[in-house]
Amino acid sequence: MSTERPVLKLDPEAIPTEPKSAATVIVVRDRPRSGLEIFFVRRHAKSAFLGGAVVFPGGKLDAADRGASIIAQCVGTPRRATDFAADAINARELGVCACRELLEEAALALTTTPIDDQHCEALRAALTSGRPFGDLLTEAKLSLQLDALHAFGRWVTPNAESRRYDARFFLACAPDGQTGKHDDHETTSSVWATPQKMLEASASGEVFLAPPTTRCLELLAPAKNIEDAVAIAATQSLQPVCPEFVASDPPMLVLPGDPSHSIRETRVNGPSRFVLREGRFCSEDPRD
């Protein structure tokens, strides 16, 4: 994966914009030698938001993710998703968004009937050509397995960023027979890696990770397998985590519970701030 670093657009004087709802999926699988692996994609360097960053597949909630027709093609509700959604209907809409983005960016399909890589690629090609997601599911006689998604966290883009998202993070097991692949459009490369390997790649400057990605990997690092990862997901707070930008030297993003954050309540485990050092955000606690 490229070492090119995204251009950060954090402005402490920015007038906050309303964040758009989005969904992100942490796809995991077990491997005999390496243990738990996660699927990552690298965003196109020219993307307006986090261009060049290594991320989990995801994107914003679209109008097509809503409505009775698409919801009727779903089974279940993402686990615990009502805790970070407006209601049960919104929880399913976010699940549809997660499944659609996963197909678009990773060629992975969470469907009740197993399908292979070739079928996933065909569905993705039709979807990216403009065909409605619901129509494709109907024609293929497929239903989305929404209860395969486990709510993992909720991160809101800082007020200092012009493009803002209220991103719900889900965890899901990679379907059997599917390997995943970037789309060569919004994403330019992809890889399966353990949480620790990707954290090490970030520390060495090989890749750039946004703070939410780093924290999710730190939380999942102890997991030895999918069962552990699902158990970790079940313990996470789903309260919104909106980092606040502090234009100090060096600059930093502080999380709820940090002495410099306006919210005193801790909402995610781990160090309470990300300090910008040599072009990357380092997960740290306040120094005495």
Q: What fold does the segment set 20-241 form as a domain?
A: Nucleoside Triphosphate Pyrophosphohydrolase (3.90.79)
Residue-averaged pLDDT of the chain: 93
Q: Each residue of 59-113: pLDDT tens digit? A: 999 999 999 999 999 999 999 999 999 999 999 999 999 999 999 999 999 999 9
Q: Are 96 and 146 in contact (CB under 8 A)?
A: yes
pTM of the model: 0.94
Tell me the CA end-to-end span of the chain in Å, nearest whole number. Answer: 37
As a whole number, mean pLDDT of residues 206-220 equals 96
Residues of the chain above pLDDT 70, percent: 94
- Min mean pLDDT across 172-176, 186-190, 231-235 is at 186-190
**What's residue 12's pLDDT?**
76
Q: Tell me: the pLDDT tens digits for 226-284?
A: 999 999 999 999 999 999 999 999 999 999 999 999 999 999 999 999 999 988 999 99
The pairing of strands 54-55 and 35-43 is: antiparallel
Q: What's the gap between Cα 212 and its chain centre?
A: 8
pLDDT at residue number 15: 82
Which of 268, 166, 286 minimizes the C-alpha distance to 218?
268
